[in-house]
């Protein structure tokens, strides 16, 4: 299978098919590392500062040094985007998917961080593929899976970790049940988050998302929705939510960098509301896209 795009590995940019990391890299053998996923609008990485801030926060939880500043990383991202065929400015009209991975680095097979004094940095860039139109026009089905979200006392979900086994197992169960995303509960039985996105339900015009203390990754897009809600006149809150709350939801949507706001019209066999994307979801999505264009257009002009 031919892989698209370009990959930066510790200073070298290669076509995706040729990019490699050493097998003794602790990101590979132990899953020790953190990552961020970004996408561009107007060829500008959207909410870049917030993503890098979270990358640094995740790294601190692992006592993992981040040996570069934000501006230097942005330069490497732009170089990798250009190598992937995503130009930094018009007339190009394509956008980029970007994944930044920072690992413990290469060293002997031991858990001792002293064996890996130099972290590894990988940047993946490829043309962004928008979700199919049906996602926003018709909505999607997700599954409430049996796999529980990691306990914060084990691998805390607040860390955007390269170790994604919990997410992978949840998604595999969802796929078997015909879902396009996996919704997980925490060990207390509260709704937490999805394997690749955050959850919102809408009741009586109010958009509600699970509280951070329910054991979830605090999504950059999730936080941005609170700002969008103020712009468009939608009340956005966080509360403790349970599976029973899904039964009374008028609308449901999920949020992530690549999905934006994706309407959910079915959770397993339960139909949400009218079975079509609802007005609050549409209003927030329109506001989100408008803000994304405005923010990145101004940053593009400022360069």
Both tokens of 43, joined, read 């060829």
The per-residue pLDDT for 3 is 81
- Do 28 and 103 reside in the same domain of the chain? yes
The per-residue pLDDT for 207 is 98
| pLDDT one-digit tens code per residue, 25-36 | 999 999 999 999
* Res 93 pLDDT > 90: no
- Do 43 and 121 reside in the same domain of the chain? yes
- Do 288 and 149 reside in the same domain of the chain? yes
- Do 157 and 100 reside in the same domain of the chain? no
Orientation angle between helical segments 48-61 and 220-232, nearest 10 degrees: 140
| pLDDT one-digit tens code per residue, 153-194 | 999 999 999 999 999 999 999 999 999 999 999 999 999 999
Percent of the chain residues topping a pLDDT of 90: 94
Distance CA 195, CA 202 (A): 20
- Do 11 and 53 reside in the same domain of the chain? yes
Report the domain count for the chain: 2
Residue 184's domain comprises 133-292
The per-residue pLDDT for 4 is 87
What is the C-alpha end-to-end distance of the chain, expressed in Å? 37
239: nearest Cα among 197, 202, 211, 280: 211
* Res 89 pLDDT > 70: no
Residue 2: pLDDT band (50, 70, 90) is confident
For residue 143, is it within any domain? Answer: yes
- Do 194 and 279 reside in the same domain of the chain? yes
- Do 68 and 194 reside in the same domain of the chain? no
* Residues 238/210, Cβ–Cβ less than 8 Å: yes
For residue 59, is it within any domain? Answer: yes
Residue 88: pLDDT band (50, 70, 90) is low
For residue 300, is it within any domain? Answer: no
Domain boundary pick from 104, 127, 150? 127
In this prediction, residues 59-72 reach a mean pLDDT of 97
| pLDDT one-digit tens code per residue, 202-249 | 999 999 999 999 999 999 999 999 999 999 999 999 999 999 999 999
Residue 299: pLDDT band (50, 70, 90) is confident
Cis peptide before 209 (omega within 30 of 0): no
Residue 152: pLDDT band (50, 70, 90) is very high
Domain boundary pick from 70, 92, 127? 127
CATH of residue 70's domain is 3.30.470.10
Distance CA 264, CA 201 (A): 9
Higher pLDDT, 219 or 300: 219
For residue 297, is it within any domain? Answer: no
- Do 103 and 186 reside in the same domain of the chain? no
Mean pLDDT of the chain: 96
- pTM of the entire predicted model: 0.95
* Residues 225/200, Cβ–Cβ less than 8 Å: yes
- Do 214 and 98 reside in the same domain of the chain? no
For residue 223, is it within any domain? Answer: yes
In this prediction, residues 93-110 reach a mean pLDDT of 95
* Residues 176/185, Cβ–Cβ less than 8 Å: no
């Amino acid at each position: 299978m031919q892989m698209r795009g370009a990959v930066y590995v510790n200073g070298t940019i290669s076509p995706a098919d040729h990019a490699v990391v050493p097998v003794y890299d602790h990101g590979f053998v132990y899953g020790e590392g953190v990552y961020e996923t970004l996408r561009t609008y107007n060829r500008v990485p959207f909410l870049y500062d917030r993503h890098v801030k979270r990358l640094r926060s995740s790294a601190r939880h692992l006592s993992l040094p981040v040996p570069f500043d934000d501006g230097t990383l942005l330069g490497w991202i732009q170089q990798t985007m250009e190598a992937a065929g995503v130009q930094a400015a018009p007339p190009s009209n394509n956008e980029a998917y970007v994944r930044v991975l920072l690992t413990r680095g290469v060293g002997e097979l031991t858990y001792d961080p002293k064996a890996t004094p130099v972290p590894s940095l990988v940047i993946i860039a490829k043309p962004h593929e928008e979700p199919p139109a049906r996602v926003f026009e018709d909505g999607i089905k997700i599954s409430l899976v049996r796999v529980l979200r990691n306990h914060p006392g084990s691998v805390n979900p607040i860390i955007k970790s390269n170790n994604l086994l919990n997410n992978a197992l949840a998604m595999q169960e969802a796929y078997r049940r015909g879902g396009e995303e996996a919704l997980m509960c925490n060990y207390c039985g509260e709704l937490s988050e999805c394997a690749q996105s955050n959850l919102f339900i809408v009741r009586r015009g109010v958009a509600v998302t699970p509280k951070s203390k329910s054991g979830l990754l605090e999504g950059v897009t999730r936080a941005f929705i609170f700002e969008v809600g103020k712009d468009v006149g939608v009340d956005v809150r966080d509360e403790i939510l349970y599976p029973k709350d899904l039964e009374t939801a008028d609308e449901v949507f999920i949020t992530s960098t690549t999905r934006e706001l994706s309407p959910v019209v079915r959770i397993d066999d339960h139909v949400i509301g009218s079975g079509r994307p609802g007005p609050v979801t549409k209003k927030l999505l329109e506001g989100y896209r408008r803000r994304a264009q405005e923010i990145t257009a101004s940053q593009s002009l400022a360069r």
